């Protein structure tokens, strides 16, 4: 183990540039002049599906093993989004979601289909291990009811036909359509309607009926994804295929694919797809759609747009930023937060000490990967990619027990963190990179400020500490961030406290602030 303590060069960089880069700090794509810039949201909101109900657009995305999860966003203009609900507060269908001897990293909820029918909202999704699930609600803000279905469907596309019948399109490589009964159980056998013939991996199907055609809006997935439309006059085919966008231009839209078609109130057509965008995850992208020979062609001249005029929805709406910082002054967590797997509700609190998040150790574990009550948040990339994203927290560590480790992490595979560790009654700061203690430093006070500076552009994250929130000192080395399919979500900021010897110790987080 090597000890590395130095004044961070980022401290001076931030001091110099912060007054001049406020535009780069925004977390929305609205440019304020009637245009927007992709990515639509520069953070990990993958597998989007979008619908319009009255004057509001709703988008559901994938959260995998993070709960509250199955995040639903809402917007009035397709550009400025805000949190609507996390439809599934916790997922109690396997002990693995409690990190009870197993886990659901890279598994869990994904590729959800959202529909509105006869006054109810529906969310249909699959988990690879537990099967199919349906959430429903009258109010999209919740509460949502969840129930396990008799069968799951891979990357389901739920569809209510105008004759009252219910279908789901699904599959990987081979796309099938299955009619469902009123309980969303299969009514008949699957009908194979199309076998992908461009390459392996045709998936992510959503179903639409437009001008007499049934459209299956699908992707050939991967980093260089291909978005296609299949169409037929009959639900069971035969279907013909058209590539609607295949853009491998280096930049923010490389390999844009998998998402939803949506029509505005004024008759315009748009699509929200996503792009694998580095270690911060998969970012949604908003693209115009032009109908040519009754095919929904995406982008402009075969290329996805970066800057574009905003959709015409009949009126103007204000700019909105999704929240990132939290003072922990409320009695509930902000909707930007999610726990790594199900939390233990008895071991965290916002009320035991008002104004603070208290994390009490929940179980004895060997590493952060196994630790319950790890609170996570998506980092947002900057539209000026040269500017990194910094997260800082104030933590009080008076009541730790021997073997406790508490601090701030950037979590994926690999992961790293800066933390206070208590051993034999004394505390020290440690920096851990992928399970190995890289460096340590003495603890001078029971109130400590921890900071990580992460760049989606350089794919690096560094870790620092301070005792006065003014002078920060770096500890350890850089984390080389990756987007690993072993985790299958973007890197997350994490606040944590776990025990390696005995439970019952706790720490208090006063706040968490970004940049």
Enzyme catalytic residues: 47, 203
Cα dist. 61→85, 285, 361 in Å? Answer: 11, 13, 30
Q: What gap in Å lies between CA 158 and CA 176, rounded to an integer?
A: 12
Sheet of 66-67: strand order equals 66-67, 337-340, 375-377, 492-499, 404-411, 416-423, 426-433, 436-442
Q: What gap in Å lies between CA 246 and CA 267, rounded to an integer?
A: 25
Query: What's the full length of the chain, in residues?
Result: 515
What's the gap between Cα 259 and its chain centre?
15
- The burial of 118, by beta-carbon neighbours within 10 Å (0-12 exposed, 13-18 middle, 19 or more buried), is given as exposed
Q: What gap in Å lies between CA 242 and CA 226, rounded to an integer?
A: 10
Residues 6+ apart with CB under 8 A from 91: 67, 69, 97, 108, 109, 342
Burial 90-107 (b: 16+ CB within 10 A, else e): bbeebebbbbeeebbbbb
Cα dist. 438→8, 393, 419, 459 in Å? Answer: 17, 21, 12, 19
22 membership: H or E segment, kind and range = none
Work out whether strand 131-137 and strand 506-514 pair parallel, antiparallel, or are unpaired.
unpaired
Record the tokens describing residue 376, joined without a space: 């996570």
Q: What gap in Å lies between CA 262 and CA 22, rounded to an integer?
A: 32
CA angle 451–452–458, rounded 5-degree value: 155
């Amino acid at each position: 183990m090597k000890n590395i303590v130095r004044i961070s060069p980022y401290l001076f960089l931030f001091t110099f540039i912060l007054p001049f880069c406020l535009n780069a700090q925004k977390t929305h794509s609205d440019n304020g002049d009637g245009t927007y810039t992709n990515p639509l949201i520069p953070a990990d909101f993958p597998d989007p599906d979008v619908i319009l109900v009255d004057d509001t657009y709703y988008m559901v995305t994938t959260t995998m093993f993070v709960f509250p999860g199955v995040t639903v966003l809402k917007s009035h203009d397709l550009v400025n989004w805000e949190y609507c609900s996390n439809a599934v507060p916790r997922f109690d269908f396997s002990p693995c979601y409690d990190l009870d001897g197993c886990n659901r990293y890279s598994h869990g909820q994904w590729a959800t289909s959202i529909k509105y029918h006869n006054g109810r909202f529906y969310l249909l999704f699959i988990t690879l291990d537990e099967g199919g699930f349906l959430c429903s609600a009258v109010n999209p803000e919740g509460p949502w009811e969840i129930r396990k279905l008799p069968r799951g469907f891979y990357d389901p596309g739920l569809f209510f036909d105008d004759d009252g019948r219910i279908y789901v399109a699904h599959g990987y490589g081979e796309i099938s359509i299955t009619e469902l009964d009123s309980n969303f159980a299969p009514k008949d056998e699957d009908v194979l309607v199309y076998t992908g013939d461009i390459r392996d991996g045709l998936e992510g199907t959503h179903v639409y009926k437009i001008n007499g055609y049934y459209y299956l809006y699908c992707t050939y997935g991967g980093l260089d994804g291909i978005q296609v439309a299949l169409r037929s006059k009959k639900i069971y085919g035969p279907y013909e295929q058209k590539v609607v966008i295949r853009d491998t231009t280096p930049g923010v839209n490389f390999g844009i694919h998998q998402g939803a078609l949506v029509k505005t109130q004024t008759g315009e057509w748009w699509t929200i797809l996503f792009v694998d965008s580095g270690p911060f995850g998969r970012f949604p992208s908003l693209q115009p759609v032009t109908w040519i020979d009754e095919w929904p062609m995406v982008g402009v001249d075969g290329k996805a747009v970066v800057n574009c005029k905003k959709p015409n929805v009949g009126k103007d709406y204000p700019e909105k930023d999704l929240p990132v910082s939290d003072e922990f002054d409320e009695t509930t967590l902000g909707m930007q937060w999610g726990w790594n797997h199900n939390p233990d509700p008895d071991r965290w609190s916002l009320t035991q000490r008002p104004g603070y998040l208290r994390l009490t150790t929940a179980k004895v574990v060997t590493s952060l990967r196994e630790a319950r009550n790890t609170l996570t948040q998506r980092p947002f990339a900057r539209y000026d990619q040269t500017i990194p994203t910094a997260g800082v927290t104030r933590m009080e560590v008076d009541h730790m027990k021997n073997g406790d480790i508490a601090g701030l992490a950037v979590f994926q595979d690999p992961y790293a963190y800066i933390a206070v560790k208590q051993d034999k009654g004394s505390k020290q700061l440690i920096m851990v990179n992928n399970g190995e203690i890289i460096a340590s430093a003495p603890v001078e006070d029971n109130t400590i400020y921890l900071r990580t500076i992460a760049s989606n552009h350089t794919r690096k994250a560094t870790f620092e500490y301070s005792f006065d929130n003014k002078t920060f000192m770096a500890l350890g080395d850089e984390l080389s961030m990756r987007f690993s399919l072993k985790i299958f979500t973007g890197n997350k900021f994490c606040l944590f406290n776990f025990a390696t010897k005995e439970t019952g110790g706790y720490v208090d987080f006063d706040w968490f602030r970004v940049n």
